[in-house]
């Protein structure tokens, strides 16, 4: 089956569905933790907060007991230790999330595309070209005869030999790998064919592919 053409346009990110919450995720779980000084405490927290504290302890190379001891030293008079641990876990997670979102922002993805010396594009799952760079435009001008670049961009059709959903699934199963496939750009009766290397785009907005043209 011939893949559908990919029109070039700017696509606004779609909202993400809220996560489902299982019954066991809201039930507090009791754990006894021991700090390095030997102090032992029994704590009841929901599973997601235990997971957060576990990630914190692994990142900071300390024990969960040490994190509990640290929280106890920050506890105001009359405060609740489990509430403070929930705040500590969520605050750490939000800090990590902010860092990841900054690194994987659309602005940084655009910088990666523009810094590439080869023709580079970003494809969304709904078959749109979200970004492209100057070498990509140069390739079009060299191989597709047109006096109006803006008109060329509006009306050309871009397709790849591999279905985008299949490409994304393959790359998600083989993290750190790339996928080479053929592409075709048509404008009127003119056709440009070549090969493109696809990888998962480092973006948190939505699943996207970054493609580097390797031959045309």
- What gap in Å lies between CA 201 and CA 186, rounded to an integer? 25
How long, in residues, is the chain? 216
Q: Is the dihedral of CA 166, 162, 125, 120 positive or negative?
A: positive
> pLDDT for 89-115, tens place per residue?
999 999 999 999 999 999 999 999 999
pLDDT band at 192 (very low <50, low <70, confident <90, very high): very high
Query: How confident is the prediction for the chain on average, in pLDDT?
Result: 88
- For every residue of 9-21, DSSP letters joined together read ---PPPPPPPPP-
The pLDDT of residue 185 is above 60: yes
pLDDT band at 155 (very low <50, low <70, confident <90, very high): confident
- For every residue of 123-191, DSSP letters joined together read EETTS-EEEE-HHHHHHHHHHS--S-HHHHHHH-EEEESS-HHHHHHHHHHSTT--EEEEEEEEETTEE
Give 123 or 8, the one with higher predicted confidence: 123
* Whole-structure pTM value: 0.72
Q: What is the pLDDT of residue 188?
A: 84
């Amino acid at each position: 089956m011939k893949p559908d053409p990919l029109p070039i346009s700017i696509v606004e990110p779609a909202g993400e569905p809220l996560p489902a919450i299982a019954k066991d995720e809201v039930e507090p779980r009791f754990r006894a933790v021991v700090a390095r000084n030997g102090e032992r405490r029994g704590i009841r927290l929901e599973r997601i907060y235990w997971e957060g504290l576990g990630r914190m302890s692994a990142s900071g190379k300390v024990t969960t007991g040490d994190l509990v001891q640290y929280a106890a030293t920050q506890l105001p008079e009359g405060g609740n230790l489990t509430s403070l641990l929930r705040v500590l876990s969520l605050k750490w997670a939000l800090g990590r999330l902010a860092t990841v979102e900054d690194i994987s922002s659309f602005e940084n993805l655009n910088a990666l595309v523009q810094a590439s010396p080869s023709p580079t594009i970003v494809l969304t799952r709904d078959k749109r070209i979200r970004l492209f760079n100057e070498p990509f435009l140069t390739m079009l001008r060299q191989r597709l005869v047109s006096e109006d670049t803006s008109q060329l961009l509006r009306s050309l059709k871009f397709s790849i030999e591999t279905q985008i959903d299949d490409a994304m699934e393959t790359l998600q199963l083989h993290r750190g790998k790339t996928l080479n496939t053929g592409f075709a750009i048509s404008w009127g009766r003119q056709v440009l064919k070549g090969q493109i290397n696809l990888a998962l785009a480092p973006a948190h907005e939505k699943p996207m592919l970054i493609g580097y043209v390797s031959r045309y």
